[in-house]
Copies of this chain bind each other. A is one copy, B any other.
Amino acid sequence: MSDSLVRDKILDTASRLFFEQGYNLTGINQIIEEADIARGSLYNHFGSKSELLLAYLDKAQQERLAETEAYVKTVKDPQKKLLGIFDYRIQRQQQIGYRGCQFIKICAEVSRDDIKVFELVEAHKERLRNFILDLVRQTTHNPVLSDELFADTVFLLLEGSTTSVGFSRNVRGLRQARKIVEGLLVS
């Protein structure tokens, strides 16, 4: 058997279910059934459901950032790179069925003193903000906003529009956000 094919099956299934139907609405029973593994195996690889949650968040976090960077790497112009972030988000939301941001969703589901979850999400968002800031520094944009402030503009528009996908169940907000950034870039 592979080093841990079972572990991957568990994490993949849990990840899908946590995102698609929510953490609290997903039970251990459903995970082991859909992953087709034994209950004992799950608790052998992950000490508890909340450990599984942290593993999910950390993996998703790395994947989202890597995919964003990969998507953006296909274009040269820094301005187009910035817009590419929105393009990636639009494409992804269409693929996953307009579910919004997976990290925001988890923050809304866990107890306030699940500090590890909040720190993990905060760190991820900070990495994203820095990635945007790096790109912003290579662009010329509307001079009324400093680089820092323009990076926050892009970041907050991205956050707001991705969140809006969650309740509107469409990507209108993301398209508008893209247009706005485009407008602020050319001037």
- Asked if A156 and B176 sit within 8 Å, CB to CB, the answer is yes
Within 8 A of B (CB), among A138-187: 142, 144-145, 149, 152-153, 155-161, 163-164, 166-169, 173, 176-177, 179-180, 183-184, 186-187
In this assembly, does A28 line the interface, its C-beta being within 8 Å of a C-beta of chain B? no
Q: CB of A95 within 8 A of chain B? A: no
- As for how many copies of this chain the complex holds, the number is 2
Contact between chains at A153 and B159 (CB < 8 Å): no
Q: Which residues of B contact A157 (CB under 8 A)?
A: 153, 156-157, 160
Q: Which residues of A contact B (CB under 8 A)?
A: 20-22, 24-25, 100, 103-112, 118, 121-122, 125, 142, 144-145, 149, 152-153, 155-161, 163-164, 166-169, 173, 176-177, 179-180, 183-184, 186-187
Pick the contact of A160: B25, B112, B160 (CB < 8 A). B160
A179: chain B residues within 8 A (beta carbon): 149
Is chain A's binding surface mostly helix, strand, loop or mixed? helix
Contact partners of A176 in chain B: CB under 8 A: 149, 152, 156
Chain B residues with CB under 8 Å of A100's CB are: 107-108
Could you give 21 example pairs across A and B, Cβ below 8 Å? A20-B112, A22-B110, A24-B109, A104-B167, A107-B166, A107-B167, A109-B109, A122-B167, A122-B168, A125-B164, A125-B168, A144-B187, A145-B183, A152-B173, A152-B177, A155-B160, A157-B160, A158-B160, A159-B163, A160-B163, A163-B163
